Amino acid sequence: MAQEETIEEIITVGIRGSLQQGIDQKRNSDKLVEVIIAEDIGKLPDQNLAEVLENITGIQITRTAGIGTGVQIRGTNANRVEINGVSTVGSGSGRNGINFEDVNAAIISSVEVAKSPDAKTVEGSVGGTVNLKTIRPLDLTETLGSVRLQFEDSTLSTESAKPRFSGAYGDNWDTDAGSFGFIISGSYTEQEAVSFRPRTDRDSLSSVAGGPQDFLGIQFLLQEQENDDYETTNLATTFEWAPNDELKFHADVILNEQERSRDQYRIQASGVSSVRNIQAPSAFETVNFGIGRDRGA
C-alpha cells in the first residue's frame, strides 16, 4: 500500500485577501486614507493610474478622447503626488506631480490617498496626497516572475491590433553582509482613441427691416473627428539592502515616457453672419438651432 504524502499547509490568496489588506491599512492609519492593493504586478484592472484612482470615493477624473488623464480630490486638482513617499515633479506647467496618464498601472503595487493632512504631511496639497507604491523586493517571500500580454482591436478606433505588454522579475538573498533584494518591472502600451464632436455656435444679433425684432442666426455648423495615438513606456526598478534588522537602504529608479500624436479632421458650414437688413417675419417660432421660420399672419 502506497504511503500518502502529507501536505503541511496550503495558502490561497485572491481578491478578498487584497481587499482585506486595504481595510487593515485604513483601520490602522491615524488619518483619513483610501487604499487600493494589487497583490502582484499587473493585477490592477485599469490601464493607467487616473482610471485606478476613479474607484476611490471622493475622487473624480477627467478624460481626453475617453482616456483618463487628470485627477480631482474633493473637487480640486491642487494635489500632491508621491512615489514611495518621495515628491514628484510635473513635466508641464500647472501640474502638481507626474501626469497620471503617463504611468501604467502594471508597475504599481498599491495606491494610497490621504485626504486629511497631519503634522508630518508635506505641504502643497489642497484636496489630498496620492502616494504610489512599488513592490519592495525584501517583502517578497519567493521569486517574482510575471508577464502579461494583451491586444486591443476595434473596428471603430483602431486600424490594427494594439499591444499592451507588462512584466516583472524580482528576488532577494540572505548573505553574510545582510539581505539584498532587487526587482525590475516595466510596461509598453499602444493605444488609439477616436472622438467625434458635432458643434454649432450662434451668431450675433442682426437687425431686421420692418420692425424692432432682431434675428439670431447660426454662425457655423461643425463636424470634427480626432484620432489620438498613444505610445507609453514605463520602467521601475528597486534595489534594497538591509545589513541588520534595524537598518535598511534602498534605491528607486522610475522612468515614464509617453508619445502622443493627433490627426484632426473637420468640416464646417458657415451661417448668416454677413447677412443684414433681413425682412422681419410677421410671426415666428423657434426650431432647430434658433432659426426663425415665417408662419404668416
**Residue percentage of the chain with pLDDT more than 90:** 6
pLDDT digits 0-9 by tens, 210-258: 555 555 556 677 788 888 888 888 888 999 999 988 899 989 888 888 8
DSSP symbols for 161-191: PEEEEEEEEEEEEEETTEEEEEEEEEEEEEE
pLDDT digits 0-9 by tens, 69-78: 778 888 887 7
pLDDT at 179 over 90: yes
Comparing 90-94, 118-122, 140-144, 269-273, the range with the smallest average pLDDT is 90-94
Query: Environment class of residue 64 by beta-carbon count within 10 Å: exposed (0-12), middle (13-18) or buried (19+)?
Result: middle
As a whole number of angstroms, the distance between CA 223 and CA 3 comes to: 76
How much is the pLDDT for 146? 83
How much is the pLDDT for 243? 92
Dihedrals phi, psi of 81, to nearest 5 degrees? -125, 130
Comparing 91-105, 192-206, 218-232, the range with the smallest average pLDDT is 91-105
How much is the pLDDT for 239? 93
pLDDT digits 0-9 by tens, 99-157: 776 676 767 788 888 887 777 777 777 788 888 888 889 988 888 888 888 888 777 66
More confident: 62 or 217: 62
More confident: 160 or 144: 144
- How sure is the predictor about 34, in pLDDT bands with cuts at 50, 70 and 90? confident
How much is the pLDDT for 7? 66
The structural domains of the chain, with segments of one domain joined by +, span 1-133, 137-297
Q: Tell me the pLDDT of the chain averaged across its residues.
A: 74
pLDDT at 277 over 70: no
**Residue percentage of the chain with pLDDT more than 70:** 64
How much is the pLDDT for 76? 80
Q: What is the DSSP letter of 48?
A: B
Helix, strand or coil for residue 221? strand
Q: Which helix (H) or strand (E) holds 19?
A: helix 15-28
How much is the pLDDT for 172? 93
- How sure is the predictor about 276, in pLDDT bands with cuts at 50, 70 and 90? low
Residue with cell 493627433: 262
Third-level CATH fold of 1-133: Ferric Hydroxamate Uptake Protein; Chain A, domain 1 (2.170.130)
As a whole number of angstroms, the distance between CA 112 and CA 93 comes to: 25
- How sure is the predictor about 181, in pLDDT bands with cuts at 50, 70 and 90? very high
Residues with Cβ within 8 Å of 157's Cβ and at least 6 positions away in sequence, in order, are 192, 193, 194
Average pLDDT rounded to a whole number, residues 15-35: 66
C-alpha cell at 157: 478606433
pTM of the prediction? Answer: 0.63
pLDDT at 281 over 60: no
How much is the pLDDT for 158? 62
